[in-house]
Structures are given as structure tokens and as C-alpha cells.
Amino acid sequence: MIRRSLFFAAPHQVEIREETLGPPGPGQVLVQTLISAISPGTEMLIYRGQAPGDLAVDETIFALAGRFGFPLKYGYAVIGRAVALGEGVPEEWQDRLVFAFNPHESHFLANLEELLLPPSSLTPETAVFFPNMETALTLVMDGQPQLGEQVAVFGQGVVGLLLTGLLSRLPLASLVTLDMHASRRGLSMNWGAHLSLDPGAPGALEQLLDNLSGAGSYRGADLCYEVSGNPQALEQAIAVTGFHGRVVIGSWYGLKKADLNLGGRFHRSRMRLISSQVSTVAPELSGRWSKFRRYLLAWRMLQETDPRPLITQRFPLAQAAQAYALLDKNPAEALQVILTY
């Protein structure tokens, strides 16, 4: 059969190409894609040519083997249906709704262990948020927020909003978020933030410090998350973190450089910079937590929330170039963009 696949052909250029796809082999399933979600963080780095070409795309996912070089197939949030089964695949897989960490393409082959089964109560448009929810859970686990802590989140994209929603379930003293787009700040309040600020507004950091600390004796954030994708936000996060506080860096900057002032209060404040990445489980948790256990929790959190209102646009695969141009030029108008098939 002939499938249609999205390729990042060059900076600011995506193409839909036709490829020949054979039948499923033993233990394989042929999946017909229903929808896939664009990651406006990682995928925009690729789209803009800001991903390091010598870096492996993902060393833990077979469908994402290779390096960040053009031309490149990418994407990792696909909901589809099993339409053909290879030898040895149980019949109950026929027509099952499945999730896969797979690039944007109309059909693909996958081994059973590469597919996840969303709970039957979830719609495809809810289940497609699975990678973002898993990332948000990983950020919470890596930051280890404590009872009564003062927490700030820089960036209220999809992951930032889901993270805010998870943090709002905890008995924090304060939860303040920051985003340059007014529409996202409004959503942030709906998802549980006590206050949401524009990081570029005059006096924003002083206002953040005042609202984090309140009448408390601890000045600054116990815990900051940087999930904006903007290296300048990391400098701001360090500036508002208190003594022995933690800064969890969930953003991937690609080729963008972070210019940090580490010669001032950072050194004497004993604060910690923590890298968080969803491909692995932190070593100190791996004795009790596995990826599978985290998967189950992510599905549960999707059942308990409704992220579908975060979908702002839907584009047919043939119009993918328009979708990426929108995210690149007018990010204030787009949050979660979905490709339909």
C-alpha cells in the first residue's frame, strides 16, 4: 500500500511524501492513523533548524531512530486503529484503538510492545495528550513538591498547563505561573494557578516574589519549573528561587544557548538545577517506579481531567505546512494543534 508521511525537508519546510508500505510481519500490526498531535516545543526546534543534527532523535523509541538531520520524519503522539494483523497477533487486536510514539503518517507498522491501549473511556482527542501528560507527571516527580511550598512555573503551553493542573491538586502555599500570552495566562488560572503573570511586564519578577512569599518568612520560590522553551526564562527562574531551592528544567533548547548569571546569589544560595526528561525514570525512583507504572498514572490523570479544550486548531495532513507556519509565526493563536487523517 501507499502511505502519506510528513517530512521536515529543510528549515521552515515540511512536505507530505508517499511511501510504499508492506503488510504486517509476524507479531506486527498495521495501524491506520486517526489523529496526531504536533509538539510545539520539540517540533518547532526541528522546523526552525535549531535541533542539533548530531544528536540521536530518541534512543528509547524504535520508530524515532536516527539523528536530527534533514530530511526527517518526526512526531510522537499518534492515535490510530489496528486494521491488519500479522501472524501470531491475537484477533482481539483487530480494530482496537491504539496509541503510538510514532511520526506523523497515515499508516505504519508496529510491534505489539510499541503500542499502548488507551482506556475505553477516553476519546481519541483526549488520548492523544498522553505524551504531554506523562511529561507533566515526570516534572512533578522530578521536582518533588512538598506540603506548603511556594512554586512558580515559567511557560503555560500544553505541558505547562497540564503541570499546573497537577500541581494545583497539592496543598501548596502558592502556585504562580508566567507566560507572555494573555490567553494562556487566563487558561492557567482555570487550571488552578493562584496568579498568572506576564514575565516581560515591568516589575513582573518582584510581583512574582511578593505573591510567592506572601507574609511568609521564606523569600522566593522553593521550586521553579522552566517549561517555556525560552533560555531567558531560566535566568528569571534562578533569580526568583530562594535559598536551597530547586529549578527543574523541562525545556529542551536545542541549539539555543542559555546565558546565565551564576556569579551572584546563585553560588551562595545553594540552589539546585535539575534536568527533567520523560524518556527515563529518575534513578532514585526506579526501584519503585517503572515506565509502565507511570503510563498507568498518565492514563488515569487524563481520565480525571479534560484536556480537549486545549486543542485550538485541526488541520488535515495535506495542510500540515499551514499548521507549522501558524505555530512559528503566530504562537499566541495556537496551543495544541492536531493533524487529522
User: Using CA atoms, how far apart are residues 127 and 153, in angstroms rounded to an integer?
Assistant: 24
Q: Which three cell numbers stand for residue 326?
A: 501558524
Consecutive sets of 10 residues in the chain, 341 residues long: mean pLDDT of each? 96 96 96 97 91 64 66 95 97 96 97 96 97 98 97 98 98 97 96 97 94 86 96 94 96 85 87 94 94 96 96 97 96 95 96
The pLDDT score that the predictor gives to residue 52 is 76
Which cell is 36 given? 496526531
Of 162, 157, 204, the residue nearest 181 (C-alpha) = 157
Strand partners, 33: 80
Sequence-distant (6+) residues with CB within 8 A of 66 are: 56, 57, 72
Residue with the three cell numbers 486543542:
311
- Asked whether 70 and 8 are in contact (CB, 8 A), the reply is yes
Asked if residues 276 and 142 have their Cβ atoms less than 8 Å apart, the reply is yes
Cell digits of residue 293: 507504572
Give residue 87's pLDDT. 96
Please report the domains of the chain, with CATH numbers, ordered by start residue.
2-129+307-340 (3.90.180.10), 134-275 (3.40.50.720)
With CA atoms as reference, report the closest residue to 157 among 45, 259, 255, 251.
251
The rounded distance, in Å, linking the Cα atoms of 160 and 168 is 12
Closest CA to 57 of 49, 70, 68: 68
∠ at Cα 139 (163, 36), nearest 5°?
65
pLDDT at 69: 81
Is residue 77 within 8 Å of residue 43, measured between CB atoms?
no
Coil, strand or helix at 253: coil
**Which cell goes with 128?**
492523544
Vertex 299 angle, CA 298 and 300, to 5° = 90
Cβ atoms of 337 and 51 within 8 Å: the answer is no
